[in-house]
Structure 1
């Protein structure tokens, strides 16, 4: 397949691959097809057997553990990149988490602890990554995160992740403004509903998939490959004028009332 953009000579970090069917894996594949060299993280040893084959297929130069809840692990990832590469051209943040009991509760019934955990892992971790990555992006760069339509509209059973993703999208706008003088762009990819391991934690997600499919103008859900091609474009300098944008990748589902 002919790549949509040329990322030859670029080096990128992909955080959030759970398995070969995850959105992060689709993006990583597109980055690699466009010629980029990749560093990939895995959550823990339990997740490693699912991520390692993906990393090997991608020819990832680095495969590193990264649980942002564990002090020092995120910093260690960037220390490895600084030592082995000395620079970074783009990063993809595709992680989200909320305690199951809070995710399945009404938003007004979620606990303060659960909300704080969801916000820290799903939103603030992107700001932490930006702070660590920026010094390595000496020639400019691109920072991307993954959001969802539930940030903008109420989606049944999405619950506390709606406010959390809304905060993530707002953070992207402020990040883009803060980092603009350093020629670093920031984007949120508002991905359409996809049956991934992470999404399966949302209550009655299969029903959400059916509703989204029914209201999508094309009649079919977006694929991880389609989202990946958009991410590859956003990793390139061609997307620079769009910095700060929330880019919808949902086959038009967000346009239909």
Structure 2
């Protein structure tokens, strides 16, 4: 048994990370924040509204919580001012923000309205660009930015509506942010491309629960990927241990993508067809 002291393997001790997007204890953002704190990082939070801040008062008791609705450039700029006034330097940013209006139910993709698409693009994709631009002077030279994507933006899943093209734009922006920030820093930009997760937000998507249950049948281990597994990858990407990774989307889906044609699932479908 070695007597050497336990090392801070991830190199996150004493680092300051801004986590955006906590809605409740099941949120990906919250699970990432927990793991960052366990690794020794100082976590500060940004939430959508004062009402959300109040609802999280118990969960985030004693934490630094800012309010920033990313649909408003004024609020993004105000967040930057507040961090500057507090002389906060960011070693990392976790962007776990997405929204799509499914209030009229899930419709065929070609019936997506301009308002729905542009609002989802603004909140879910462009917000990463806007926030990073506003905070560029707050980032340490080697800061790491991590956003949350989806495991595939090419699978035309009806249960995900029009969000896959939005997430594709988010994923594409990683390369362009990396390139433009490289003119004055070593800030890195990556995404965790998550498989289907059991979160409060996803449960509100029409048809999502059935897709989640199907995913559990297709995944080789028979269990869906967990939020904590996604959070662990995000924590690694924030850390200096991932310094050689940038402009990438790391798929975390427990192998779902290799097993769409699992024999048992195919048999169940063909059996259903013959008995229909």
State TM-score, norm by structure 2.
0.85
Contact preservation (8 Å) 2:53, 2:65: no
Pick from 247, 252, 259: which aligns with 1:249? 252
Contact preservation (8 Å) 1:175, 1:186: yes
Runs (5+) with no aligned partner, structure 1: none
Between structures 1 and 2, the one with greater helix share: 1
| 2:221 aligned partner | 218
Pick from 186, 190, 193: which aligns with 1:187? 190
Contact preservation (8 Å) 2:91, 2:144: yes
The 2-side partners of 1:159 and 1:103 are apart by 9
Give how far 1:4 is off: 6.0
The 2-side partners of 1:44 and 1:8 are apart by 29
| 1:178 aligned partner | 180
| 1:240 aligned partner | 243
**Distance change (3 Å), C-alpha of 1:190 and 1:3:** farther
The 2-side partners of 1:183 and 1:34 are apart by 23
**Distance change (3 Å), C-alpha of 1:100 and 1:4:** farther
Contact preservation (8 Å) 1:102, 1:114: no
Contact preservation (8 Å) 1:25, 1:54: no
Give how far 1:131 is off: 0.7
- 1:35 counterpart = 2:46: no
| 2:115 aligned partner | 113
Contact preservation (8 Å) 1:81, 1:88: no
Task: Give the root-mean-square deviation of aligned CA atoms.
Answer: 1.9
Runs (5+) with no aligned partner, structure 2: 1-6, 261-276
Give how far 1:221 is off: 1.5
**Distance change (3 Å), C-alpha of 1:35 and 1:199:** same
- 1:198 counterpart = 2:201: yes
Moved over 4 A (4+): none
Contact preservation (8 Å) 2:11, 2:240: no
The 1-side partners of 2:123 and 2:105 are apart by 14
- Between Structure 1 and Structure 2, whose CA radius of gyration is higher? 2
> What does 1:39-50 correspond to in 2, within 5 Å?
39-50=44-55
Contact preservation (8 Å) 1:11, 1:37: yes
Contact preservation (8 Å) 1:222, 1:250: yes
1:180-200 CA distance string (max 9 Å, x none): 341111001111211212212
The 2-side partners of 1:15 and 1:3 are apart by 25
State TM-score, norm by structure 1.
0.91
**Distance change (3 Å), C-alpha of 1:3 and 1:225:** farther
- For these two proteins, the number of residue pairs brought into alignment is 253
| 1:75 aligned partner | 77
1:117-158 CA distance string (max 9 Å, x none): 010000000001111222212332111110112423222321
The 2-side partners of 1:256 and 1:4 are apart by 34
The 2-side partners of 1:248 and 1:31 are apart by 20
The 2-side partners of 1:6 and 1:163 are apart by 35
Give how far 1:255 is off: 3.0
The 2-side partners of 1:171 and 1:82 are apart by 25
